[in-house]
Amino acid sequence: MSFSVRAVDVTTIKSCDAIINSLGILENVTRYGRLCKNIVAGANSIKLKKEIESFKNNAYPGNIFLTSGYELPAKHIIHIVTPLFEMDKDLKVLEESYKKALVVAYKKGYKKIGIPLIGTGFNGYPRAYVIKLLISIVKDFANYVPKMKIIVAIPIESAKDFSNTFDENEIKKSINKFFDENKGLEKREFHFTFNEFLNLAKENNNLTSCNENAEKRSEDFYESLYSGQKRIEELEKLRFK
């Protein structure tokens, strides 16, 4: 397993097969947030802008689209349609979107991906909440796909909110402190179970553009990744305490 958390702009990570982007809903798909603006600027492609615009009729919360990375260091961009943070169900959509994006990357055979914080700007998701969600599900996922290198990219300005040293253990402590100081925000655990991974991997994902439809593989292949109760025990150790 290769999993790391870095204070870095996701658009600058070199030799990535893919990075993740956030898009608005339906007609708002072209109203780029800060992350999307940086990615579109880095890609430096009119074609990418046109592709994003073409998604608007299908840009429902949780949908995923795949495009080329154009002039970015990353070869591909996995676009997640992200809802505004208005109620609890939106948190679940964000969680499921991250999981689907990871499975899409796996099914495409990507070996290295960069994952930024999604929805923490204009969409209003609390950064500490999203950091905890992302680190939790990526750690679980990395146990199922040990050969994929996953980089969780947290902007430097966000990292400073939690830790001057940017040590992962310090981030955990700071996140827990954040929840202690914000009692109105539910304190919960996030996990990516093997059954979720298996079910998502079996789906015939409807990805738009560039003929990037993910291939459906055999059930036996996925089941061979699972090692029974020992795997469950290992995953339990990775949970936030």
Number of C-beta neighbours around residue 134 at 10 A: 22
Most confident of 83-97, 151-165, 184-198: 83-97
> What is the rounded average pLDDT for all residues in the chain?
75
Tell me the pLDDT tens digit for each residue of 126-139: 777 788 888 889 88
40 — pLDDT class (breaks 50, 70, 90):
very high
CATH code of residue 28? 3.40.220.10
Q: Could you tell me if 77 and 68 are in contact, meaning their C-beta atoms sit under 8 angstroms apart?
A: yes
Per-residue pLDDT, averaged over 48-59, amounts to 90
Residue 231's pLDDT is what?
46
| Rounded Cα distance, 194 and 143, in Å | 9
Question: How many structural domains is the chain composed of?
Answer: 1
CA distance 206 to 89: 23
Write out pLDDT tens, residues 197-228: 888 877 755 543 332 332 332 233 333 333 44
β-pairing verdict for 149-154 and 2-7: parallel
Residue 53 confidence (pLDDT) above 50:
yes
Provide the residue range defining the domain that includes 49: 2-237
Q: What is the pLDDT of residues 64-94, one digit of tens each?
A: 999 999 999 999 999 999 888 876 677 888 8
